[in-house]
Amino acid sequence: MTQAPLATRLDGLLFFPVTAYGPDGALDLETFRAHVRAGVEAGAAAVFACCGTGEFHALTPEEFHDCVAAAVEETAGRVPVVAGTGYGTALAVRYARLAERAGADGLLAMPPYLVVADQEGLLRHYTALAAATSLDVIVYQRDNAVLTPDTVVALARVEGIIGLKDGVGDLDLMQRIVSAVRSEGLDLLYFNGLPTAELTGRAYRAIGVALYSSAVFCFAPDIALAFHRALADGDDATVDRLVDGFYRPLVELRAKGRGYAVSLVKAAVRLQGLDVGEVRPPLSEPAPAHVEELAGIIARGRALLAPGADAGRER
């Protein structure tokens, strides 16, 4: 059966699974499959496999292919699978072709490795990547790959580039990008790609960026989905309650350690009963005290979903 275009299928909460490793540090595909399966059954709109949360940087090409193929098999066409790709252009193309061979529906193009390229170089990089496979591409701007509005307009004209994910957090820049692309009569999907995107969800929606990646969905899909519904419905009371009692404390905990945007998420998945293993070097595990604090934050988040939680907050 022919699937609808990827751009029309990315409507809902986006799931970025962690990559599971066994006690020996080797890839644990069975646990990864269970993680993906649970996310899809919980209501994920798409699976973004082997991206930032999935430790793309730590995977060999062979492991990458096997993880993407496992995600494709587990979703069985119910939701799209988007695979990460990155490094320099040659390697990014290699990973893109591995993702295509594994059956992925699209690519999330992470920043090139190490170098700080100019706008022309970035445009050449993403244009070459889009031409390398039949897969649609979402460009992830962050760190050493921050794009000007003119460059994004040029990318929007490239066949196969369908979206821009923002990991910078500069709302002025994003507003100018959205306006520039719209003024040229072009279409792009926009994603809030900050590490805990829910915290800035309302601000991004105000400038036309409604889609976002949710790391919280990895370990607390009930909280993530409740927030997503409240944000979409304009339920400010629920949004405020979850931001104040769950998301802000989570972000403040994440700021206590380097690499916590990944390692803390993985620890949270383990806390929920699925042993996905530890992060690979060069990342390291969160401090035990921080894992204990994390458990308390998750418990408080779930308590805020209980009937009457809002009334209790107002007293």
Distances (CA, A) of 245 to 47, 162, 199, 291, 304: 27, 35, 11, 17, 8
In degrees, rounded to 5, the angle at the alpha carbon of residue 212 between the alpha carbons of residues 166 and 206 is 80
Supply the pLDDT for residue 205: 96
Q: Are 89 and 129 in contact (CB under 8 A)?
A: yes
Per-residue pLDDT, 2: 60
Give residue 314's pLDDT: 39
- Domains of the chain (ranges plus CATH)? 10-314 (3.20.20.70)
Per-residue pLDDT of the chain (315 residues; tens, 9 = 90+): 567 899 999 999 999 999 999 999 999 999 999 999 999 999 999 999 999 999 999 999 999 999 999 999 999 999 999 999 999 999 999 999 999 999 999 999 999 999 999 999 999 999 999 999 999 999 999 999 999 999 999 999 999 999 999 999 999 999 999 999 999 999 999 999 999 999 999 999 999 999 999 999 999 999 999 999 999 999 999 999 999 999 999 999 999 999 999 999 999 999 999 999 999 999 999 999 999 999 999 999 999 998 777 644 433
Q: Does the reported pTM lie above 0.85?
A: yes
| Residue 223 identity (one-letter amino acid) | I
Convert 32-61 into a string of H (helix), E (strand) and C (coil).
HHHHHHHHHHHCCCEEEECCCCCCHHHCCH
Active site residues: 140, 165
* Cα separations in angstroms, 29 against 22, 95, 146, 200, 275: 9, 19, 34, 33, 12
Assign 100 to helix, strand or coil. helix
Q: Whole-angstrom Cα distance, residue 260 to residue 237?
A: 29
